Amino acid sequence: MADFMEDHLDMPLRNALATIQDRIMNQTAYFGVKALKNPLDHWVYQEIIYENQPDIIIEIGNASGGSTLSLAHLCDLLDRGRVIAIDISHQHIPERVKNHPRITFIEGDACQCFARAAELIAADDRVLIIEDSAHTYQNTLNVLTTYSVLLKPGDYFIVEDSICHHGLEVGPKPGPYEAIEAFLNQNGHFIADRSKESFLITWNPKGYLKRIESSERPSE
């Protein structure tokens, strides 16, 4: 029997997060293609994409391709932009996603494939990066360090699933959240733009990293 919101208005937020996680992992799809994304965060993605009008969206970690297709469709609506999809394997992505003309697929470890991705990007391109690969601390930090050089002031680097052990007891520990904190401590050109967490419920706490000019960095 289905549960309904009005029956759970006093549910602790932690329990609500677990319910949403189950829906994301087992039912969520985009145009019939499985998409492991929190829809509230994805709404924020489209706001960022509309505001920044990136020339290139790099999605690292594509799973079944639902979110990759959604990003390409947003580019279609804007009539600009391309998606570079990077993952160890794309064997589970349907052909209709692989055939979308705005998507370029690169198979392999993201850091090892950096040069292949970078050569697809022009010097004046605006870039949005979404990191959703292995959520270990070291992998996340390596991806942040390697790919952050592609961003200009105003561009975003979104690190997904920093909710691991910071809202949901899932995934590696330490994981993305700790990698974000380490990266921010090492790199003065980025801040965590927490205004992008305005739905309150996010799978990316501290994960909306904005490239800034050094002079914009707020005083501690």
DSSP string for 157-218: EEETTTTBTTTBS-S-SS-HHHHHHHHHHH-TTEEE-GGGGTTS--S-TT-EEEE--GGGPP
Domain-embedded: residue 220: no
Domain-embedded: residue 132: yes
CATH code of the domain containing 135: 3.40.50.150
97: Cα separation from own chain's centroid: 18
Domain-embedded: residue 2: no
Q: How many CB atoms lie within 10 A of CB 152?
A: 11
Domain-embedded: residue 106: yes
- The answer to whether the predicted template modeling score (pTM) of the entire model surpasses 0.85 is yes
Q: Which one is predicted more confidently, 2 or 6?
A: 6
Amino acid at 191: I
Domain-embedded: residue 127: yes
Print the domain residue range for 121.
8-215
Domain-embedded: residue 3: no
Amino acid at 193: D
**Average pLDDT of the chain, as a whole number:** 95
pLDDT digits (tens, 9 = 90+) for 124-166: 999 999 999 999 999 999 999 999 999 999 999 999 999 999 9
Query: Do 161 and 178 contact (CB within 8 A), yes or no?
Result: no
pLDDT digits (tens, 9 = 90+) for 12-34: 999 999 999 999 999 999 999 99
Domain count, the chain: 1
Domain-embedded: residue 31: yes
